[in-house]
Amino acid sequence: MPEIKDEAFEFLLARAGLSLTDEQKAELKSVYAGIAAMAERVRQPRGYMAEPAHIYDFAEEDLT
């Protein structure tokens, strides 16, 4: 997994509303590849019809 580029990392920080020290940034950058690898691993050739797990139906009590 390639290291995340500085611009992308700064975008993620800003998007998350985080203001970090240089030390915190360095640590997060060093472990980011781990979470990126997990994000790749959950992607399967499943097609666009595959449903997520949290689709729900209405119970009887919702209808009254």
Partner 1 sequence: MSGAIQTIAEAARVIAAKQLSPVELTRACLDRVHKLDGELHAFVYLSEERALAEARAAEAAIMADGPKGPLHGIPIGLKDIVDTKGIPTTCQSRFLQDNIPDTDAACAEKLAAAGTVLIGKTTTHEFADGGPSFDLPAPPARNPWNTEHFTAGSSSGTGAGVAAGLILGGIGTDTGGSIRGPAALCGIAGIKPTYGLVSRAGVAPAAFSLDHIGPMAWTAEDCALMLQALAGHDPRDPASASRPIPDYTSQLGSGIKGLKIGVIHHFHETDHKVSDGTQHGITGAIATFRDLGAEIREVQLSPLQDWLACGSLISITERAAAYEEWVRTRLGDFSERLGSRLMLGSFVTGVDYVQAVRRRRELRAELQAAMRGLDVVLTATQPMEAAKIDAVPKWDLFAAPNFTMPFNVSGYPAISVCAGFGAGGLPVAIQLVGKPFQEPTVLRVADAFEKATPFRNRRPALATA
Q: Which residues in 3-22 contact partner 1 (CB under 8 A)?
A: 12, 16-18, 20
Q: What is the CA radius of gyration of the chain?
A: 19
According to CB under 8 A, which residues from 25 to 64 bind partner 1?
27-28, 31-32, 34-35, 37-39, 41-44, 46, 50-54
Report which secondary-structure segment, H or E, holds 2: none
Q: Which residues are near partner 1 by CB under 8 A?
A: 12, 16-18, 20, 24, 27-28, 31-32, 34-35, 37-39, 41-44, 46, 50-54
